[in-house]
Amino acid sequence: MAEFVADFGMLLYVHSGPEEQTNIMFSPLSIFITMCMTFMGSHGETEVEIRNILYKSKLDKNAVQTSVSALLKSLQVNEVGVLLRSANQLFCSETVKLLKSFQDVMTKNFASDVKQLNFADSFQATQKINSWVQQQTEGKINDLLPPDVIDEFTQLVLVNALYFKGDWNTKFNASETVEEDFYSSPSKTVHVPMMKMKGRFLYGEENGYQVMALPYVGQTLAFYIILPTERFGLQSFMKKLTGESLIAFMEDVYPAPVTVSIPKFKLEKALDLKDILTGAGLLTMFEKGKADFTDMNGARDLFVGAAKHKAFIEVNEEGSEAAAATAMVMTNRCAMEVVGDIHFNADHPFLFCITECSTMNILFLGRYMGPQ
């Protein structure tokens, strides 16, 4: 599934304002899982659209069930220094009767039960959903759903929450963190706290970029930075990047002595996925009369009225903490040795991701342009 997640992540990146000089941060995996839940209830043209965008038409529902079930198991880590948790939840209107077949798939393959809510009381329903997300993300994602999303016509809300906190395998020394220039754009230079360390890390380089991985405790997850060698070359570099090439970059690394200098930063971003997913080619699922989710409730009266996503990340000397949540609101309305020290100085815009190393699934993806 890693290539599908990476391709989907790059598609989301392309349609989320890549030309803008702003930070971007989201969880391809959280959005992907929520879309998989949506896919399981889709039918007809809507099913074809989602299947094409998510799986390049290569997987059917049976294959998705099996793959997602295995994927979710890999997203449960609770060890000293590393916590990774993914949770799914269906919130359903008291007036909707879901098909048993759909409920069974959600329970068995997505580890999600169904909670009934009175959506006519929109304030209370919104509060309960946001409270669940807040609890699952250790308080890092608040108010996923704004007050105006839920109304009396809401039938179903599918939610995924993803939380990660990990200590670096080798921590930075806070006393060595210093304020330095970060070159956000040709016309903007800002001061940021730069964390510094020398060590042996997984590193790679090609014409135009450097890549390195900072592993977390246990080394099953890592923070990857892809840094263009040209100071303001991220935008042109990203135009050539695909999900497949991104995974290849992360895999084509080797142990090397590296002098590291990266910013200490914190980001929180909210995305309205409706426009992004529509731009990516998912059209019928948002349109009443064209959306087909008969595999959810047996009637062709559901469509996606809203799709919301929030993501948070903090990178400091100790490690990283990241969280994300996505909601779909349904309504009826090889190693080589390097001689010499390598300098990896991330003092200009770069791409970053937190990746599960055994599967290469991208949990979080972002672009850092400096403090904003």
Q: With 60 as the cut, is the pLDDT of residue 13 above it?
A: yes
Q: 238 by DSSP, 3-state: which?
A: helix
pLDDT at 240 (0 to 100): 87
pLDDT attached to residue 334: 39
Model confidence at 16: pLDDT above 50? yes
Task: State residue 19's pLDDT score.
Answer: 65
Enumerate residues 6+ apart whose C-beta is below 8 A from 57. Answer: 48, 51
Q: Is the pLDDT of residue 154 over 50?
A: yes
Average pLDDT, the chain: 92
Predicted TM-score (pTM) above 0.75: yes
Of 304, 305, 324, nearest to 364 (Cα)? 324
Place of tokens 């993806």: 365
Q: CATH for 2-166+266-331, among 3.30.497.10, 3.40.50.510, 3.40.50.1820, 3.30.1490.20?
A: 3.30.497.10
**What is the Cα Rg of the chain in Å?**
21
Residues of the chain with CATH 3.30.497.10: 2-166+266-331
Amino acid identity for residue 356 in this structure: E
- Which range, of 273-282, 302-311, 333-342, averages the lowest pLDDT? 333-342
Question: What is the rounded CA–CA span in Å between residue 2 and residue 80?
Answer: 26
Q: Are strands 303-315 and 361-368 parallel, antiparallel or unpaired?
A: unpaired
**Gap between the Cα atoms of 181 and 189, Å rounded:** 6
Question: How confident is residue 340, by pLDDT bands cut at 50, 70 and 90?
Answer: low
Three-point CA angle 364, 366, 371, nearest 5°: 130
pLDDT in tens, 233-242: 998 888 889 9
Does 335 have pLDDT greater than 60? no
336 has pLDDT over 70: no
Q: Dump pLDDT digits (tens) for 30-79.
A: 999 999 999 999 999 999 999 999 999 898 999 999 999 999 999 999 99
Q: Which helix (H) or strand (E) holds 68?
A: helix 61-74
Quick: pLDDT tens for 157-214.
999 999 999 999 999 999 999 999 999 999 999 999 999 999 999 999 988 899 999 9
Instruction: Express as a percent the part of the chain with pLDDT over 90.
Output: 84
Contacts of 244 (CB under 8 A, 6+ apart): 3, 6, 7
SS3 assignment, position 5: helix
User: Which pLDDT value is given to residue 333?
Assistant: 60
Q: Quick one: 168-263+335-368 is in which CATH superfamily? A: Alpha-1-antitrypsin, domain 1 (2.30.39.10)
pLDDT digits (tens, 9 = 90+) for 241-250: 999 999 999 9
**CATH 2.30.39.10 residue ranges in the chain?**
168-263+335-368
The DSSP letter of residue 141 is S
Q: What is the pLDDT of residue 331?
A: 84
What is the structure's pLDDT at 372? Answer: 83
- Structure confidence at residue 18 as a pLDDT band (50, 70, 90): low
